[in-house]
Structure 1
């Protein structure tokens, strides 16, 4: 299903965990923008995995997932190197905002950036340079402030990563232009995206999954010894995935909480309703769009919303497939 694995690199640094600051630019307020980069060098030669978190500042699970995964890796057990940027967009992370407040740009739509551009463009340029160190790349995302998600991307050249990571739901599609994964693919770097957790719901459970699945992925690509945990069932690969966005603001009353992620519901099922908090009127219903709709992103029973916000994400179960079927025809 995949090409041969990258040729292991030769270890040139002593085993250990180092932390460095990589300069990006200087702001008008006198603050220096820099990226904190962790490097775990293994005791044995092997490939390099680059990991990002916090590309979107409202997805606070990503940085913590990176922190816990990196902290779980003992250099003595590692073959190769893990290079991690836990907070890829410091200003967006500080503002708890999807976009960088200073220029309003989405960091994950402008790779490989521009060293002569705005702050987000310069962040992308430095991150793109860091990515070029890698044989493998994983971008840790989550849902935002009010929603919770669980799936991973499977790229044509990153099947071993997606299989090893072991998310029950996978999404296969061409990467969006300007994303970190589009840049990875362009440069021959195997990649995946983890979409896990968010919204302050089931936090410990999702963080535990991130570490366990991340270590399974490292085993699958030969950076840790041992076999990945056996999956309880074959992974479901979605090829159709839509986001249900409220067109009106107010309160979302969800009928399917985060504990029901992965569940299949019938088309036309009311997944959630937008309620006017002033009049108590139901002003909008969000319906399952497919005959068989798989819940990929959902919300707790009550959350706030604005027009165009992420409400729910659902996949089409009727066009879903398996990895074997997808890549062997």
Structure 2
């Protein structure tokens, strides 16, 4: 029995959520059971109530807004706890075509990929302006290079994830999970692919960021942090080498004048060069420490993966997955009968 759970992070989506739910697939080749999970990230409208009335199987509710990355993480944890073999993440704003869920699930069902990204064909997507196309392509190129993957739409949130991959991914950013997840997956040698998907015009401004410069800044920080986490030694040794090489320039200048009997008037070059060499050594030392910390992280993640697999075995031994209560409310939501979605 292969179970697919489609998760939808939401923030004040009471008006548009019914249309999104209505377009979700009811059956997919290779999938025996399809369920839906709504993550209400501190909505001030009736998003959770709408999801409940529409028969959504699982509802996770944050009492206050925590951000898209945290909503995505909460969704993964709930889906895993509910026994999902494959998890699909989609948006509530209707940007993605619900019928294309079958397309992004297919490589995972076939065992060809751990993660499949819905490629929006950014370069020729008529719903994107020239500026957005350029930024998306540039960002995807950076992520593709740093993650050692061949994904052309790195920030697409439309993606299918196998249970194994979801258990191995640990989102650490507070902004957006998309780039962090890809860099992690690439560095952990997970099989990643993409398929072209259809998109629709945006019905409202993005709630993830307030301006393009803000988006670029936060995405850049997320990419840098994720890459440094898995390549700490390379990053810090590179920075230390740069500082050292720059420091050798004023030192060489001082030695040149000193050999020509004019070293007294250029002592400041020696001081500057010495300071830069010291900085270089300190940065390399920090890199070694950071690499040791990264090694410890790998051990912790390996232990966490074993713990998750052990929980899976215990759940299967009991005959059914444990039901988790609605986040922070203590009220179960998994027993909702999907009346509207059943049709």
Q: Normalising to structure 1: TM-score of the pair? A: 0.27
Q: TM-score, normalised by structure 2?
A: 0.27
Task: Decide which structure has greater helix share.
Answer: 2
Which protein, 1 or 2, shows the higher relative CO under an 8 Å CA cutoff with sep ≥ 6?
2
User: Which has a greater percent of strand?
Assistant: 1
